[in-house]
Amino acid sequence: MSPTGKDRFAVLIDADDAQAAVCEELLAEIAKLGIASIKRAYGDWTTSNLTPWKEPLLHHGIQPIQQFRYTQGKNATDSALIIDAMDLLYAGNVEGFCLVSSDSDFTRLATRLRESGMRVHGFGEAKTPQPFVSACDSFLHTECLRREPDTPAVAKPSSKSPVVKKPPSKPPAETVTLVKPTKAQRQLRSHILNALNELPQTDGWTALSALGSYLKKKMPGFTPADHGASKLGGVIQQLEYLDKWQRPVKGGSVHLYVRKKARETAKAS
C-alpha cells in the first residue's frame, strides 16, 4: 500500500478498443478505488482512428504506448499490454490493476493477476464477453459513464399572447400491463434470494453491506445504474419481493436490512 494508505493501481487502456469520450468519467471512478499511479494507453498512434485520444492523454497525463501492427488483421496491442502488466506485477509497485477493454483476450490476464493477489477491476462496454467480466473482481460497463445530453429548455409562452386554458379531458380508462422481467432482473432476483438463504442474519434480517459483498462476488458486472439507481440501496428499495428495515445507529445515520417477504418464504418451503 502507498504511504497515503490508499491502494495504487496500474490503469492499462486498450485504446484500439476503448472509447476516449468516457476517459474523464472513467478516471473519476478509478479515483474512488485508489490512486492511479500508472496510466498507460496502448495502440497504433500512427492511425487516424486514435485521434480522439490525443486530448485526454495530454489532459490526464496518460502515457501513450506505441505498438505498430506488424501484420494486417493482427492486434499486437493486446500482447504489449499483457507483457507490461506482467512486468508491473513482478515490480511490486501496485496493489491492483484497472483493465480498460471489451476484449475477451484479457480474460486469462485478469485471472493470472488475481492468482497473484492483485485486485483487478475491469471497464468495458456492455458487449464485453462474460468470461472477461467474471475474471475481474468488479466490472463496470462504460455506457454507465456517458453523460446524458442536456435537456433542451422548454420555451415559455409569450406574455403578448394570451394563454387559453383547455377544460380537463376525461381520463382514459386505466389499463394494467404486465411487464415481463428482463434476464438481468431475473438473475439479480435469484442471487439476492440465494444470498438471503446463505448469509448470517440478525433476527431474520440481512445487512445490506453483506448482501452487497455477496453480489460483488457472484455478479462482477453488476452495477446499480443498470437497474435505474445510483447505489445498491436504491435498487433494493424498488424490489417488491423484499421487506426493508432501516435501523438507526449512532450519529444519526441508518443501516438498511432486508429479508424475503412472507410469500417468497412460503414458495421456498
Question: Which amino acid would we find at residue 105?
Answer: D
Question: C-alpha cell of 195?
Answer: 444470498
Report whether pLDDT(169) > 60.
no
Residue 44, exposed/middle/buried by CB under 10 A (0-12, 13-18, 19+)?
middle
Last residue of a domain, one of 145, 172, 205: 145
User: Residue 73: inside a domain, yes or no?
Assistant: yes
User: Residue 177: inside a domain, yes or no?
Assistant: no
The number of domains in the chain is 2
Report whether pLDDT(230) > 90.
no
Q: Does 13 share its domain with 140?
A: yes
User: Residue 52: inside a domain, yes or no?
Assistant: yes
pLDDT band at 97 (very low <50, low <70, confident <90, very high): very high
The Cα 144–Cα 225 span in angstroms is 7
Could you tell me the CATH number of the domain that includes residue 264?
A: 3.30.420.610
* Alpha-carbon distance values, 179 to 45, 76, 170, 188, 189 (Å): 47, 46, 26, 16, 15
Of 122-131, 173-182, 220-229, minimum mean pLDDT range: 173-182
Residue 63's DSSP bridge partners are 40
pTM of the full predicted structure?
A: 0.61
User: Residue 150: inside a domain, yes or no?
Assistant: no
User: Residue 1: inside a domain, yes or no?
Assistant: no
Could you tell me the CATH number of the domain that includes residue 81?
A: 3.40.50.1010
User: Residue 211: inside a domain, yes or no?
Assistant: yes
- Which H or E run includes 64? strand 63-66
Q: Does 128 share its domain with 218?
A: no
| Packed helices 76-91 and 107-115: angle between N→C axes, nearest 10 degrees | 10
pLDDT of residue 231: 81
Last residue of a domain, one of 124, 145, 166: 145
When pLDDT is averaged across residues 165-183 and rounded to a whole number, the result is 58
pLDDT band at 2 (very low <50, low <70, confident <90, very high): low
pLDDT of residue 73: 46
Last residue of a domain, one of 126, 145, 164: 145
Q: Does 19 share its domain with 133?
A: yes
Report whether pLDDT(171) > 80.
no
Q: Does 50 share its domain with 106?
A: yes
The Cα 183–Cα 193 span in angstroms is 16
The Cα 183–Cα 132 span in angstroms is 19
Q: Does 15 share its domain with 132?
A: yes
Whether 236 and 244 have beta carbons less than 8 Å apart is answered as: yes
Buried b / exposed e along 126-145 (16+ C-beta atoms within 10 A): eebeeebbbbbbbbbbbebb
Q: What is the pLDDT of residues 23-81, one digit of tens each?
A: 999 999 999 999 999 999 999 898 898 999 999 999 999 999 998 876 554 467 888 99
User: Residue 159: inside a domain, yes or no?
Assistant: no
Question: C-alpha cell of 44?
Answer: 497504433
Report whether pLDDT(269) > 80.
no
| Choice between 189 and 177, residue whose per-residue pLDDT is larger | 189
Q: Does 141 share its domain with 191?
A: no
Range of the domain at 120: 8-145
pLDDT of residue 153: 45
Q: What is the pLDDT of residues 118-158, one digit of tens each?
A: 999 999 998 999 999 999 999 999 888 865 544 444 445 55
Whether 136 and 120 have beta carbons less than 8 Å apart is answered as: yes
The Cα 189–Cα 241 span in angstroms is 9
pLDDT of residue 214: 81
